[in-house]
Structure 1
Amino acid sequence: MSTITSSRWRNRAGVLVLAAGVVVALAGCSANASADTSGAAADGRVTIGAHSNGAATETSVRVSPDAKLHDALPASVQDSGKLTIGVGALPSGFPPLAFTGDDQKTLTGSEPDLGRLVAAKLGLDPDVQNATWDNLFVGIDSGKYDVGFSNITVTEQRKEKYDFASYRQDNLAFQVLADASWTFDGDPSVLAGKTLSVSSGTNQEKILLEWQKELQAKGKDFSIKYYPDGNAIKLALDSGKIDGYFGPNPTIAYQNTQSKGTAKETKTAGTYSGAGSSLQGLIAATTKKGSGIAKPVEEAINELIDDGTYAKWLTAYNLSNEAVQQSELNPEGLPLDAS
């Protein structure tokens, strides 16, 4: 596939669209959406994990824009010279996926960073805008955002309204102390005799309770303890009151990174699809259905996979255990009864 290295693209009117390079301050706790065009230079340089306050290993990469993918975008996107990326991280963010950086203005995290990488591959400036989760989808519906990068799970219900380009597995994980000897490979029998914690009312609680019922039918069991928040769970794990915590893989990956060098380092003992045993859940870039944006985004992600940039992005955020072999356009999603 052909590429061009110039930082300038000619739109259909023949006007040169120049990289803006402007940083608009983010109000990370504001109720209003905010924008950020930082993180990508005119020559395709992107800094992964910039201002991430230890959530990622800061990594600089250079992305070669692909002229064919740029030309495959709708004319309105080409003419704008930018890819408007919606992220639903207001009011407080969710490290390591999306949050206001330590400079108090840059929207950092794995999700906006992948958006910046895709924008660079498409030969566009990234215009990252922060919103609440609900307003993210309102913005996609209205055309305010070209694409959402916000840990959005593909579901069959959502596919009725949106197009998707997958980029990461949707996984849960078991967090244990670094010196724990047990691992989880998908067989719940390994949990017998253990004491575990999970957050009440979550998808992972539902799965854990199903496993408990399955083991009880075989004359085995494990205990479940509930705590009010993440700090209490970590204290319980550190003190040996629980053998492990079952939660979202990205959150646990972040906590593992933060624990490095402490007296109570943690690690991941194994992962499990958030969609259950019958389907690997997937996280995907999300566009308005029929907008014509999802296909170029899918191909851009696949080029990033092929040239190794994707792996660097995952490694920087300690999320390599959620890698996909390729991006898929509108892959199978969670069934309607699970949406």
Structure 2
Amino acid sequence: MLARRNRATSALGMAAAASLALALSACGSDSLDSGGGQSSAPADPTTEVSADSALASKVPADIKAKGTLTIGTDASYAPNEFTGADGKSIEGMDVDLLKAVAAKLGLKVNFQAAGFDSLILGVKSGKYDASISSFTINDERKKEVTMVSYFNAGTQWAVKKGNPEKVSADNACGLSIGVQKGTTQIDDLTNRSKQCTAAGKPAIKQVVEQDQSKVTADLVSGKVVAMAADSPVGLYAVQQTGGQLEPLGSIYDSAPYGVVVPKAQTAFGQALADGFTAIKKDAVYETILKKWGNETGAIDTFEVNP
């Protein structure tokens, strides 16, 4: 399955903020617009990145010939990837990181939004040259595609402020827990639920939504008593609810996120890894993570299929 995204200190774009406020005030609304950016974001650090000829020479000829790569992403996972205030542009930490790496390699990128669970298939079919969308690297995915590590994230639970239902991640039997479709948190909840039933207790009721924004809305409205998400995303969602939610417990099961490229393109994967190393050396990597409040997820070594 997958794993996904998110944040600690970014602010919603003005249009997205209005949608969020409306959805949250509607206590039971069926929708919560995805998105979440910064109404006054710092200057784009990727604009200062220039091509490195030595790195560009490592890009396979067929990739280099394209010039501009088509990148698939699920733009509903702020602050890692989300739709901007204009309702069209795709922004976020992952977007900035890949733009910077591509610039080092003498390439440009064109991001296309798609459902999370369709992205790997899109890469395999050739619809996308690559995908970046807070994918947790795991053995199951590496059987299908090549993955390049660039960030570290874990699972974070969240509940309503004060935890009125006294929820515990280690004892959630019989409770309704929100989770986004296709994420590694579904595997986690499934395993926890099996432990419940094995002990003669009721199973965990997973309430699965297509977008993380809807999962958050479900928790605010009371449809679920807790949610589980990738640490950057879960913490960001908590922040955006204006004190209605709070983190539950500590981050666990930390693992690296990976850029996805076709299985056979390990050479391109290595070029991307070298590009990440280069933007870290230039301090652009840390600047981007800081911009999106995700410094704690920084890694030192970027690898192909770690």
Change (3 A) 1:138 1:196: closer
Structure with higher RCO (Cα < 8 A, 6+ apart) = 2
Q: 1:277-316 counterparts in 2 under 5 A?
A: 280-291=254-265, 292-316=267-291
Stretch moving more, 200-209 or 75-84: 200-209
Aligned residues: 257
Which residue in the other structure is 2:235 paired with? 253
Partner of 1:131: 114
- The residue aligned with 1:111 is 94
Matched, 1:161 2:121: no
Distance 1:96 1:67, change over 3 A: same
**1:147 counterpart = 2:133:** no
Deviation string 1:73-97 (CA, Å, 9 cap, x unpaired) is 01122233223322244xxx33333
CA displacement, residues 133-159 of structure 1 (integer Å, 9 cap, x when unaligned): 455334322434222112223232332
1:285: how far off?
0.6
| Aligned counterpart in structure 2 of residue 203 of structure 1, from 143, 163, 187 | 187
Please identify which structure carries the higher helix content: 2
Q: Return closer, same or farther for 1:270/1:56 CA change in 2, 3 Å cut-off.
A: farther
CA contact 1:176–1:269 (8 Å) conserved in 2: no
Distance 1:263 1:131, change over 3 A: closer
Match of 2:69 among 83, 86, 94: 83
CA contact (8 A) 2:74 2:116 kept: yes
SS in 1 for 2:251: strand
Whether the 8 Å CA contact 1:84–1:128 is kept in 2: the answer is yes
TM-score by length of 1: 0.61
Provide structure 2 residue ranges, at least 5 long, that are not aligned to the other structure: 1-9, 18-35, 209-214
Q: SS where residue 299 of structure 2 aligns?
A: coil
User: Between Structure 1 and Structure 2, whose CA radius of gyration is higher?
Assistant: 1
Q: Distance in 2 between matches of 1:225 and 1:138?
A: 28
User: Alpha-carbon deviations, 1:3-27, whole Å to 9, x = none?
Assistant: xxxxxxxxxxxxxxxxxxxxxxxxx
Q: Partner amino acid for 1:143?
A: G
Q: What is the RMSD computed on CA atoms of the aligned residues?
A: 3.9
Q: Secondary structure at the match of 1:72?
A: coil
Correspondence 1:43-58 to 2 at 5 A: 53=16, 55-57=36-38, 58=41
Aligned-pair CA distance for 1:269: 4.1
Provide the secondary structure at the position in 1 that maps to 2:79: coil
- The amino acid of 2:188's aligned partner reads Q
Distance (Å, rounded) in 1 between the aligned partners of 2:152 and 2:130: 19
Secondary structure of 2:57 counterpart: helix
Aligned residue type for 1:104? G
Counterpart residue type for residue 301 of structure 1: F
Conserved 8 A contact 1:171-1:322 = no
User: How far apart in 1 are the matches of 2:158 and 2:263?
Assistant: 37
Q: What amino acid sits opposite 1:145 in the alignment? A: Y
For residue 328 of structure 1, what is the aligned residue in structure 2? 303
- CA offsets per residue over residues 32-55 of structure 1, 9 Å max, x none? xxxxxxxxxxxxxxxx99968463
Structure 1 pair 329/231, CA: closer, same or farther in 2 (3 Å)? same
Which residue in the other structure is 2:246 paired with? 266
Q: What TM-score, normalized to structure 2?
A: 0.67
Instruction: Determine the C-alpha separation between the residues in 2 that align with 1:208 and 1:82.
Output: 44
